[in-house]
Amino acid sequence: MANNNGIVFFLFFSFLLIAGAFSDAPPSTPVDPSTACNATLDPKFCKTVLPGRGSENLHDYGRFSLAKSLSNAKKFLNLVNRYLASRSSLSPTAVMALQDCQLLSTLNIDFLTSAAATLNYTDSLLDPQAERIQTLLSALLTNQQTCSDGLQVTASAWKIENGLAVPMSNSTKFYGMSLALFKKAWVPKKKNKSRKGHTPSRVPHRRALLFHEAEVGRGGELPLSMSHPNRQLFERWSGRKLLQATDTVPVNDIVLVNQDGSGNYTNITDAVNNAPNDLDGTTGYYLIYVAAGVYQEYVVITKHKKYLMMIGDGINQTVVTGNHNFVDGWTTFNSSTFAVVGQGFVAINMTFQNTAGPAKHQAVAVRNGADLSTFYLCSFDGYQDTLYTHSMRQFYRECDIYGTVDYIFGNAAVVFQNCNVYSRLPMSGQSNTITAQGRTDPNQNTGTSMQSCRFLAADDLASGDGTTKTYLGRPWKLYSRTVIMQSFMDSLIQPVGWLPWNDSFALDTLYYAEYGNTGPGSSTADRVTWPGYHVIGSTDAANFTANNFILADNWLPQAGVPFDSGLL
């Protein structure tokens, strides 16, 4: 035993020396593929993929990996399409799961093509560029995992899932390898480390042309600026006067949705479908004003509908509602009442509902996979799986979120600020779990950050018999990451704080952290003792602020919503 221990120690020490030398080598220095593969989660797979000449550097390997991943993504999409070609022999649920995979695979091809278009022509990236590419490559893994999850829980699709199991696994390995090599070769060194000591000052960005407070509904400000001919039309439609100020959020066109027929459209879907494609944000938002009413429709903001801004008449005034759910045959991904993929989406003063109820299990109100997306002064109303923060970079401010089981879930890089998080009364015997974060790879820049929020009991839970237990979250995937800071937790939060998913799964690989919280449920004295749980200080908490975690200062000002850049 003593000799074996000595050998193990020698090998481990040698690995540290090699890894240390490798980490200090510049990305332009030629390295052996075996050495490059040490940066990945599956070095054995990586070595079977990378060329073995030994004259390539990390940038070369990164580009080669992207090309192989793109080729693999196209093959996987072709395989999915072949299954869909025989849909007549499949159940409706199996077809829906395959259609989810089809959409997600198409997005992956887009992301890989975009990443390659950037990386094939440069050996260095600025912080915002590196963050964008890491976001795209992180989303590859999320999309592939979502495809797999949808097929696995669909009993009628088990044969398909069986046939796709190896291709899905290979795709995950390719995407993980590409992400790891990108991070090693292109992400600035400081991005590989905790941003120690970086605590930006509070920057409450506000953009002007604000509604009069009495006309907003919640006493807040609705940031919107327009120097546009349709401003007068907007004021006539909305019945609200706007105040002009120096800073503006540009709007290139405005349309009205009103069920009484007085506007351009009577439903939201038509307004979205007729919006221009592929706006780049430089000419301003395409504004869809949705008048008060209950809109029973399933809205999808597709990938080509970029930089749409949707403004309603207020929470519980402009309501988008549906009831698709898992029990009735919908995949979780496709059960959403409102789904967003188009980059730069902004929603203000609206309610999004899924009314399926707790007995129908997974029933999503909003699924968001839109990069640089924002929800402000909105309400998300559901039970299980209410808000699906699926992927990319997202921000929520002064929103109300209602639910029971895993009701804020997904694998976006997402920040919530000043939101009210209401746990409802679940089915008998159920516990409430607020978050279920789905990070599957430690190189993903994803996670859920909740700052200055309030964790409260909804009326039905508050008036219940007091037996329902409510937890801050549980680890849906292996590297689940959630940070709650500077927030108020009422007494509904259990003293242990967090709940396991399944026995010891992910307890040493997750990252759950709390910082500076208040209220009767905030004490960390009796919290879980998992290796992955931490009570952190301001230095570590600063890593999860809006600017550090999602580079908010670079894009949120354009949306015109207020936000705090750093710790309070």
Cα-only R_g, the chain: 24
Contact 403, 382 (CB under 8 A): yes
Q: Is the dihedral of CA 312, 318, 319, 320 positive or negative?
A: negative
The edge-to-edge listing of strands for the beta sheet with 373-376 is 251-257, 285-290, 308-312, 346-348, 373-376, 393-397, 413-417, 447-451, 481-485, 511-515, 533-535
Amino acid identity, position 166: V
Backbone angles phi, psi at 268, to 5 degrees: -70, -40
Contact 393, 413 (CB under 8 A): yes
User: Distance between CA 119 and CA 124 in Å, rounded?
Assistant: 9
Amino acid identity, position 26: P
User: Distance between CA 222 and CA 123 in Å, rounded?
Assistant: 42
Burial of 485 from C-beta contacts in 10 A (0-12 / 13-18 / 19+): buried
Nearest C-alpha neighbor of 458 from the set 490, 484, 428: 490
The angle at the Cα of 138, spanning 132 to 143, to the nearest 5 degrees, equals 120
Catalytic positions are: 406
To 10 degrees, the CA torsion angle through 31, 128, 144, 543?
90
Residues 6 or more apart whose Cβ sits within 8 Å of residue 354: 321, 322, 323, 324, 325, 335, 336, 337, 363, 364, 365, 381, 382, 383, 386
Q: Is the dihedral of CA 247, 249, 250, 255 positive or negative?
A: negative
User: Distance between CA 563 and CA 568 in Å, rounded?
Assistant: 11
Contact 225, 209 (CB under 8 A): yes
